[in-house]
Structure 1
Amino acid sequence: MKKKLSLVAFIYAKPEYQDELATKLKSLIDLSRSEAGCINYDLHQSSDDPTVFIMYENWHDRSDLDQHFKMPYIQEIMKILPEMLRAPLVMHYLDMLSNPITSS
């Protein structure tokens, strides 16, 4: 049985790009959620530092996430991220040990 995979990405915007980056990240949500391998795809913004965004994603397996990274909308944002970030993008890949909760 394939392991489900979680990805937690920490995104640190330059203050002058905070609003623009938030808009761009929000535009990825519905597109990513529509991918066959996506379990959930959620964007968060820090209450303490609004320049910090966190993506929390769950995928059926690593190949689904690999396919996600090949999508044109992901490729497009990855090209512009370096200019908008004050620190490197940090991604943690996690094997899911519990079953995901699905909404009814």
Structure 2
Amino acid sequence: MSEKVRLVILITAQPGRGEEQVAAFERLAPVVRGEEGCLQYDMHQVSGDPDRFVLIEEWGSKAALAAHDVTAHMVAADAASPGFRAGPATVLEISAESVA
């Protein structure tokens, strides 16, 4: 049984502020990808909506994800995001195993 953790995170920026979300992600992504246990950290824009995004994360373990959540760069990012986000992100943990 895999200990990996996969997350799909739905993000909505305030109207017209999607570029701020993109810029924040571009600054944060290289740091997060360098964290121990980070296997994937990719954000995609929803087609036709410049203010909606899907972030896909994969971590080697729950411990790696827990450590990520309390890093200084994530605490700072979480504090800054209400300035351009429409509300809290929706975090969905998905099965590490494919259903088909």
- TM-score where L is the length of structure 1: 0.84
The answer to whether the Cα contact below 8 Å between 1:3 and 1:60 also exists between their aligned partners in 2 is yes
Q: How far apart are 1:21 and its partner, in Å? A: 1.7
Q: How far apart are 1:2 and its partner, in Å? A: 5.3
Q: Which runs of 4+ in 1 moved over 3 A?
A: none
Question: Please, which runs of 5 or more residues in structure 2 have no aligned partner?
Answer: none
Partner residue, 2:3: 3
Q: Which amino acid aligns with 1:54?
A: V
Identity of aligned residues (%): 29
Q: Which amino acid aligns with 1:39?
A: L
Q: How far apart are 1:96 and its partner, in Å? A: 0.7
What's the RMSD between the two structures over aligned residues? Answer: 1.5
Question: Please, which runs of 5 or more residues in structure 1 have no aligned partner?
Answer: 99-104
Moved more, 64-73 or 1-10: 1-10
Partner residue, 1:76: 76
Moved more, 10-19 or 55-64: 10-19
The answer to whether the Cα contact below 8 Å between 1:3 and 1:95 also exists between their aligned partners in 2 is no
- TM-score where L is the length of structure 2: 0.87
Partner residue, 2:32: 32
Moved more, 49-58 or 13-22: 13-22
Mapping for residues 35-50 of structure 1, pairs under 5 Å? 35-50=35-50
Q: Which amino acid aligns with 2:82?
A: P
1:88 is aligned to 2:74: no
Q: Which amino acid aligns with 1:37?
A: G
Q: In 2, Cα distance between the equivalents of 1:93 and 1:25? A: 20
Aligned residues: 98
SS of the equivalent of 1:31 reads helix
SS of the equivalent of 1:15 reads coil
